[in-house]
Amino acid sequence: MTDIVLYGSPLSPFLRKSAALLEEKGQTYDVETVDVFNPPDWFVAISPLKTIPVLRDRSIGTEGPMGTIPDSSAQCGYIERKYPSPALYGDSAYAHGRALWIEEFADTALAAAGGLGIFRPLAFPAMQGKEPDIAKARETWAGKMPRLYDYLESELDGRDWLAGETFSIADISVAVQLMQVTLVAEVDFAARWPRLAAHHERCRARGSFDAVYTKADRFVRRALPERVRL
State the Cα–Cα distance between residues 103 and 182, nearest whole angstrom.
Answer: 19
Q: Which CATH class is domain 4-82?
A: alpha beta
State the Cα–Cα distance between residues 158 and 214, nearest whole angstrom.
Answer: 31
The mean pLDDT of 4-25, rounded to a whole number, is 98
Q: Is the pTM of this model over 0.85?
A: yes
* Burial of 213 from C-beta contacts in 10 A (0-12 / 13-18 / 19+): buried
Task: Encode pLDDT of 171-203 as tens digits.
Answer: 999 999 999 999 999 999 999 999 999 999 999
Instruction: Please state, rounded to an integer, the average pLDDT across all residues of the chain.
Output: 97
State the pLDDT at residue 1: 78
Contact 85, 79 (CB under 8 A): no
Structural domain spans, the chain: 4-82, 93-229
Q: Which CATH class is domain 93-229?
A: mainly alpha
